[in-house]
Amino acid sequence: MFISVRTNTYGDNVVSALLPLYRLTSLLSGGTKKSPSLLLSRGFQHGPLPGEALKGWGRVAPLTLTAGQPKGIKARQNDSPLHQVLRPLEAVFIMVLMIIVFDEECFQGRRHEFTSECCNVMEFGFETVRSLKVESGAWVGYEHASYQGQQFVLERGEYPQCDAFGGSNAYHIERLTSFRPIACANHRECRMTIYERENFLGRKGELSDDYPSLQAMGWCNNEVGSLRIQSGAFVCYQYPGYRGYQYIMECDRHCGEYKHFREFGSHCQTPQIQSIRRIQQ
């Protein structure tokens, strides 16, 4: 019996990752017959793999594994032990978050790569961040250390100077001192409910899209007293057209509940929110 593995440039990693599963499969099958050697076909034949041979594979039809399928690794034979082992892996995707910060504009000077939150860039020898690149994921940056002050969403792309951090329609930003990833950002699955008054009182509206003007969409006034995030993450803006201060709202912070406008952010002084959009992952 042969197992055919079609690989791309990272195919060797796929094969290496499957070897422990082969060993586990031998335990699941419980066979006692001596099975044929396991060979890999990747355009040419290798010799037998070092280590144990699989047991009980005489009754299993040839299996094809394809590396790099968009929906995970899939086996053709539903009744094979190996497919039963692989089934839980089909929906597992791990995104490695990364942001690269520089202490000078236009990606010059000292640089540092982060894959998790940073409560104070000064601890890494930076006075402030003057340019950055978001390689993957969505992040929120803060004006001051410990996630305080004006906040602004940082989605995938390049930000050559401080003014680019908040976009062309934001207030002027002179420094970025702390930042963290937005783990729950999911552009396809976003849902929130806004309320006219604090503590989830008054009229309400349910949102699941981008809204450049809440009033143009029928919202009663230019303020939002409280809100609930059921899924995903949004960025709320002080003015229509995604202008003014930004407030990042996430389903996994405050349990998704923002009862009062002062919970919108440490820089929030008013419940004024007039445009809202989903955060891109």
Residues 11 and 71 in one domain: yes
CA–CA separation, 249 vs 153, rounded Å? 10
How distant, in Å, are the alpha carbons of 189, 206, 239 from that of 280? 11, 19, 20
The C-alpha atoms of residue 189 and residue 281 are separated, in whole angstroms, by 11
Examine the fold and report which residue of 155, 181, 207 is the final residue of a domain before the chain moves on.
Answer: 181
Q: Domain with 252 in it: what CATH number? A: 2.60.20.10
Distance CA 191, CA 208 (A): 5
- Report yes or no on 186 lying in a domain: no
pTM of the model: 0.66
Residue 22: domain span: 2-89
Read off the DSSP letter of residue 36: P
- The domain total for the chain is 3
For residue 237, give the DSSP letter.
E
| Pairing between β-strand 226-231 and β-strand 191-197 as defined by DSSP bridges | antiparallel
Give the separation between CA 272 and CA 281, rounded to whole angstroms: 26
- Residue 255 inside a domain? The answer is yes
**Looking at the structure, do residues 11 and 79 belong to the same domain, yes or no?**
yes
Dump pLDDT digits (tens) for 13-65: 443 444 444 444 444 444 444 433 333 333 334 444 333 333 333 333 343 33
The 10s digit of each residue's pLDDT in 89-138 is: 444 456 789 999 999 999 999 999 999 999 999 999 999 999 999 999 99
